[in-house]
Structure 1
Amino acid sequence: MEPSPDARKRPRRLRCDAELNRDRIIDAARKVYRREGLSASMASIARAAGVGIATLFRRFPTRTELIAAVFEDAMERNRAAAVAAGANESAWDGFRGYIETVCGLQADNRGFAEVLTMNFGSAKDLERKRQEGFAAFTGLIERAKAEGRLRKDFTPEDLPILLMANAGVLGAAGDAAGEASRRLVGQMLRAFAADPAEPLPPAPAPKRLLRGMVRQRRAGAPAN
């Protein structure tokens, strides 16, 4: 007996609903991670997506799988930026461009700095991209030192330290966060340079910076 047209349509509809839920969860997680970092709970992401916690876990059985889906594009951008920087004729120009790109990715989503230091053994493609990006960056460091443009005592561990400092600026500067972050990165690149004559991006206007900090403090203040 042939299945009815409605019966044939049902599996297709279920697949469409499942895909819609997946996209909704990823979009919600991206926004929550951008605001709260990777410490955000799965329950808060489910609420933001408008789905039940059981639905979330059906689509993403582990937190790592959800993080991998959210940050797949950003990790590819990081990998591509590191590889392109390594191909730059000037290792210092490549190094500077890569640092600016990574800090820009962090400005787009606060969780990105944590993702760079995570091990994604179960998400093989993401882990491969992370390792390729790191390998390109470490090679770039050695070339920039050999050029005499990067301090000899710079280590790969200085990048997560910079990202931690940048996270503080992004979290505190409110509306002026983008300008304040670029200023910090400029200051740090000058500190990393063997010849500290690198030009700095302009600082945020004092009133704009103060206004942004006050607004950010008010937004984070607990309700009475």
Structure 2
Amino acid sequence: MPRRPRTLTDAPVRLVKVREVTVPLPHPLRSDALDNRERVLEAARTLFATEGLNVPMREIARHAGVGPATLYRRFPTKRTLVVEAYAEEVRACHAIVEEGLADPDPWSGFCRVIEKTCELHIDSLGFTEAFMAAYPDAMDFAADRGRMLGAVAELARRAQRAGDLRPDFVPDDLVMVLMAHRGIHATSAATRRATSRRFAALVIQSFQTSPTRAPLPPAARQAPPPHG
């Protein structure tokens, strides 16, 4: 019986499901201190997403509307700030792979990992940098990345034994996918996400033993139309 073509209709990644505070606070913070902390984290995520991890700490403080002293009191190093800013995304990465491993159809689970990982990374240049260890002084994701790639390797072996995943796939291919995916740039979030979905579909077809050639998601315009 022919395999049903893969579609990109799975539910989107919901980071709210994995939200929690990862670094215990030494004592309860006043409401204004908590508010400052959240503003700093939100500013950091915003600037990391658009400018990468090299954005200066003073710029993050300015964007958050707090003084540098307030920022450094809560986050004494860039590493500390990046750890807190991306704790949710790290847990989401693990949840995505665990969901893929739990799928009784290993090919379906493998495809879900590709789709949802791209979806998670598309709105955050900074997270991709940190996860790929392109900014090791800020945060070392080596252990998390190693666990994730180990789980992907197990899922890939299952899909290969089922005959759906090409036999020459190796987990480092997923790293290559994320590096290429990081190059997606667009003027709007909607265009970035549409391009990411199409990219994921192309990647999945390239990994399949016998590509189904299912219709790709619609292409998004990458540049404004020429004048005249």
User: Structure 2 CA distance, aligned partners of 1:147 and 1:82?
Assistant: 18
User: Structure 1 CA distance, aligned partners of 2:35 and 2:143?
Assistant: 28
Greater displacement, 58-67 / 110-119: 110-119
Structure 1: 5+ residue stretches without partners: 1-11, 216-224
**Does the aligned pair in 2 maintain the 1:189–1:198 contact within 8 Å?**
no
Q: CA deviation at 1:101?
A: 0.6
Three-state SS of the structure 2 residue aligned to 1:168 is coil
Flag the structure with higher helix content.
1
Q: How does 1:11-26 map to 2 (within 5 A)?
A: 15-26=30-41
1:112 aligned residue (127, 130, 133): 127
Query: What amino acid maps onto 1:99 in structure 2?
Result: I
Alpha-carbon displacement from aligned partner over 1:176-214 (angstroms, at most 9, x marks no partner): 221111111111111111112252432225xxx05xx24
Q: 1:66 to 1:141 in 2, by over 3 A?
A: same
In structure 2, the partner of 1:68 is 83
In structure 2, the partner of 1:172 is 186
User: Structure 2 CA distance, aligned partners of 1:14 and 1:93?
Assistant: 45
Q: 1:13 to 1:153 in 2, by over 3 A?
A: closer
Greater displacement, 92-101 / 104-113: 104-113
Q: CA deviation at 1:114?
A: 2.2
User: Structure 1 CA distance, aligned partners of 2:167 and 2:54?
Assistant: 35
In structure 2, the partner of 1:48 is 63
In structure 2, the partner of 1:29 is 44
**Does the aligned pair in 2 maintain the 1:36–1:110 contact within 8 Å?**
yes
User: Structure with the greater relative contact order (CA < 8 A, sep ≥ 6): 1 or 2?
Assistant: 2
Q: 1:39 to 1:147 in 2, by over 3 A?
A: farther
1:138 aligned residue (150, 153, 166): 153
Q: 1:64 to 1:82 in 2, by over 3 A?
A: same
* Rg (Cα) greater in structure: 1
Using structure 1 for the length normalisation, give the TM-score: 0.76
Q: 1:132 to 1:14 in 2, by over 3 A?
A: closer
Size of the aligned set, in residue pairs, is 197
1:92 aligns with 2:107: yes
User: Structure 1 CA distance, aligned partners of 2:94 and 2:81?
Assistant: 20
In structure 2, the partner of 1:153 is 168
User: Structure 1 CA distance, aligned partners of 2:86 and 2:53?
Assistant: 11
Which portions of structure 1, spanning 4 or more consecutive aligned residues, are displaced by more than 6 angstroms?
A: 119-124
Structure 2: 5+ residue stretches without partners: 1-26
In structure 1, the partner of 2:206 is 191
Query: Percent same amino acid among aligned pairs?
Result: 35
